[in-house]
Amino acid sequence: MARRSRGRCIAPEVTLPIGIGRCQGCPAIGIRWYTGDMTDHIDGRRRRFEHRRGEIVAAATAHVLEHGVGSLSLRTLARSVGISHATLLHHFSNREALVAEVVDAAIARALSLPDLEADNRPDPLRDIWERARTPHGRQHVRLFVELTGISMYSETAVRAAVARSMGERAQALAAGVARAGCPADEAAAMSAWVLSALRGLMAELLVTGDEEHADAAFEDLHRTVMDRAAGWTAQARHERPAGPPIPRT
């Protein structure tokens, strides 16, 4: 309803979407109406937002890989990407939701495993270790360790993302050791043991910087795993059914 101030009529401004073809308005009653196609307007805005969402996640991932999650601020990130804080909140309702997507984008590659489906890798365990020790690999492992700690303190979305990453990695390695001959009923436990040992060694290396000690510990782990694998091979040979007898001449 309009109200008067010093003899002038002041009406609340209202926007009415109607399809006349151009933007019109009436200043006397404070009404503006958009006369174009509102569906096109909304869809265009949504497309721009969807394009920026990937850009936002990429920028946040680069930030946390370099500086950690603790320094991640929604307002700082919005400024670095060149968007408003309101636009950022359109994509991510809160900081935890954004961090959870960063987990899916970055931690999916943390301690990344070689392609275990390939049969041309003679020593995939050593491949994992060497990749994790590169500067790129250390960034991802460091972020994984930080997020693992954060996930223990009631951040539900982050905890779910870290748990999902752990589960996917464990399943991939379990499938790999099963193809290498590990009994099916032992593959899951073997995978959990190897991954936990690797993460612990990498965390110690990142904190202490003692590469000699970490490498020596890895070699001990590697030797133990190879001994187990040799046992699987021997057992498979023993259980293999004998071929038909060779006829005597």
Q: What pLDDT digit, counting tens, does each position of 12-69 carry? A: 444 434 333 344 444 444 444 434 444 444 344 445 545 678 888 888 888 888 888 8
Select from 110, 115, 227 the least CA-distant residue to 179. Answer: 115
Measure Cα distances from 239 to 181, 232, 242 in Å. Answer: 12, 10, 9
214: pLDDT strictly greater than 90: yes
Tell me the C-alpha distance between 191 and 6, whole Å: 79
Q: Exposed, middle or buried, 184 (CB in 10 Å: 0-12/13-18/19+)?
A: exposed
Q: What is the pLDDT of residue 107?
A: 64
Bridge partners, residue 33, by sequence: 16, 24
114: pLDDT strictly greater than 90: no
Report DSSP state, residue 115.
-
* Cβ neighbours of residue 49 closer than 8 Å, sequence gap 6 or more: 87, 90, 91
Which two three-digit tokens encode residue 225?
Answer: 């795993």
Q: What is the pLDDT of residue 98?
A: 85
Strands (E), the chain: 3-5, 8-10, 14-17, 24-26, 31-34
List the single range of 172-181, 184-193, 205-214 with lowest mean pLDDT: 172-181
Model confidence at 212, pLDDT cuts 50, 70, 90, reads very high
Length of the chain counted residue by residue: 249
Against a cut of 0.95, is the pTM above it? Answer: no
Q: Over the stretch 85-112, which tens digit does the pLDDT of each residue have?
A: 888 888 888 888 888 888 777 766 554 5
